[in-house]
Amino acid sequence: MASERPSSPRAISRPVPLQSVRIRDPFWSPRQERMARSSLLQQHAMLEEYHHIDNFRVVAGEKKSTFVGMFYYDSDVYKWVEAATYSLAKFENADLARKIEEIVALIVKSQQTDGYINTLFTTLFPGERMKYFYVMHELYCGGHLIEAAITRYEIFGKKDLLECAIKFADFLIAFDPAGKSKQYMDGHQEIELALIRLCRCTGERKYLDLAMRFLEARGRDPRRTRTALANSVGLASILARQARALVEWERQNGVIPRPATKVALDTADATMLHKLRFAASYLSGKYVQQHLPIREQHVPVGHAVRAMYMYCAMADAAMELGDASLSSTLVEAWQHMVRSRMYVTGGIGSLPLVEGFGNDHELDNEHAYCETCAAIGNFLWNWRMLQLTGRVEHADLMEQVLYNAILPGWSIDGFKYRYTNPLASRKGFPHKDWFNCACCPPNIGRIVGSLGQFISTTSDSTVSINLYIGCHVDASLGDGTGFEFTIESRFPWAARATISIIKAPDHPVVLQFRVPSWTEEATISIKNETPQVLSDWGVFHRIERTWHEGDAIHVDFKASPAYIFPDPHVKANHGRVAIKQGPIVYCIEHVDNPEYDFDEMAIDITRKLESRFEPDVLGGVVLVTGKIAGHVPGKKEEFTAIPYFAWGNRARGPMQVWLKCAR
């Protein structure tokens, strides 16, 4: 029996539980099935090949070997379990189910009697565990264990992994019960949001208290530069001794087969200045958001994934505690990010090495990091901000990030991934089947598998449609009455959808429809009534009435291909434009425009853009065409643009999002 996810008492809206939503969508259903039946099995094969799962077998006593890989490998296994659990709830797959059960059993057997769990330290350095919080990711890995365990319990009602997660959380509480250590906080945030989720799941306030302790510890270490240096030395020592231990084990027992390291970086090469900026960010504490107390962090800095997970936890805490100071800090940080530190795709992180935020308006396209996991963090933060504030701009940004910053990280065939997502490339970067730092593949699996929970939210007497994804929704209102409906969607290629009521209470209910900020014209019509042209965009349009079975609401948002003009403060985009149709950002690739050098080609923005759906191109996409300025005889007069999320799926070659335009 599945357990419904508890909601926060002070949230303005509540997500409809994943178990109550069934996606039936021409765009997303094939992708969900591909993830469930192919991608997750391929990811499992990579986890085997790179020894992630073997590390648990070693600790569990089921294999004679030693630790192989990186200190964060455990987290990839936990994320995979969570992603596979989401997919298994929708698609029966005996092979996938068997693999989940094997891994869960290994995890449980790998836990130490005091609740500690980490395969690197248990295997090689048991006397040095819980020592280097900035760098060793023990708490980060444990956070993903907790999330996987709660997901397994909520969907299938299984408590084995949840009991393991609770033991680990209790170990963390007992580690420093008096709360005296200023260094006791994670260098990579994740444990905080996981602990708050555990509090909601169990009803135990102590987990929320520990999450707040970790959050409040940030910016409180007066010796943070010295702490950072000590952690760096500790990391270097552990990695060196780990390498020597592997050599010695292989000398005595034979070589352990393992693949060559695959570098994740797909942006332009980091410069010496980037390296110096990374050192400054790390030593100042900004890299890990340790430079200021959390309520003073109004400007996003440092590693983007870490920042997003911290903001997620702060939003969760604000909803649990009704903490207005946390809420106001989050609003300011969000506004600053969107205004000055975010790409047109919704991607974040402009600096390599830092893997995160640069200065205001420092949005270089070739060096853009835009890590897929950072986009996922941005999506999850906005989901929480939507619940916290009820403001439509968070749903708008969720859509923008989903299609243009998360989806580019997953190849169309479902078997390859991209870690970073630059907005310009001189030679092109194909997706890869895996990385030595493989956080993104299972993280994409988590979002794709759990997509249903982001579509609709409810409050006491309101049902909100946040994302137009085809589905069947069986929601509950605040008084316990049911409200059941379907969404039939043509998004993202045609901005039209129909909401059909299946069951409704015999009292008025507000249906709230997101009117996207990108629309040129919005029309809403209800069965047998005169269509209404809406005058406001970027809002929630509310209709209150007593609904009946068979009522149908049609929404139609006009979306023609259009140029986006850059913020004049962004020097990298001077003299350039981007293209967007509806929620989709476009780019040009060499394979469609082979005659032209993109650095020299200029487009004529006085000429109208055209679009057409091509079912046989890149799995079926809308292409956009426009005119090239100063047409050269013998060359095409027009350029062709494809959705940015689809780049890199064909022949390798240059790509650009921001296009040079004729003056």
- The CATH number of 455-558, from 1.10.10, 2.60.40, 3.30.70, 1.10.3470, is 2.60.40
* Distance of alpha carbon 502 from the chain centroid: 32
Positive/negative CA dihedral, 267, 269, 271, 277: positive
pLDDT at 3: 45
Give dist(CA 162, CA 145) in Å, integer.
Answer: 9
Structural domain boundaries in the chain: 17-213, 263-433, 455-558, 562-660
Which architecture does CATH list for 263-433?
A: Alpha/alpha barrel (1.50)
User: Which contiguous run of DSSP H or E holds residue 315?
Assistant: helix 304-321
pLDDT at 2: 44
Please list the residues that pair with 554 across neighbouring strands. Answer: 498, 525
Q: How many CA atoms does the CB half-sphere of 15 hold within 13 Å? A: 23
Task: Give me the DSSP letters along 535-551.
Answer: S--SEEEEEEE---TT-
Give dist(CA 636, CA 611) in Å, integer.
Answer: 17
pLDDT at 7: 63
pLDDT at 404: 98
- Of 274, 271, 311, 292, whose CA–CA distance to 190 is shortest? 311
User: Which contiguous run of DSSP H or E holds residue 584?
Assistant: strand 584-589
Share of the chain above pLDDT 70, in %: 97
pLDDT at 11: 87
79 Cβ contact partners less than 8 Å away, ≥ 6 residues apart? 144, 148, 439, 442, 443, 445, 446
Residues with pLDDT less than 70, the chain:
1-7, 178-181, 261-268
pLDDT at 10: 83
pLDDT at 178: 67
Measured CA distances, 365 to 349, 411, 418, 557, 619 (Å): 11, 21, 16, 30, 26
Residue type, 14: R
Give dist(CA 389, CA 435) in Å, integer.
Answer: 37
The pairing of strands 638-643 and 539-545 is unpaired
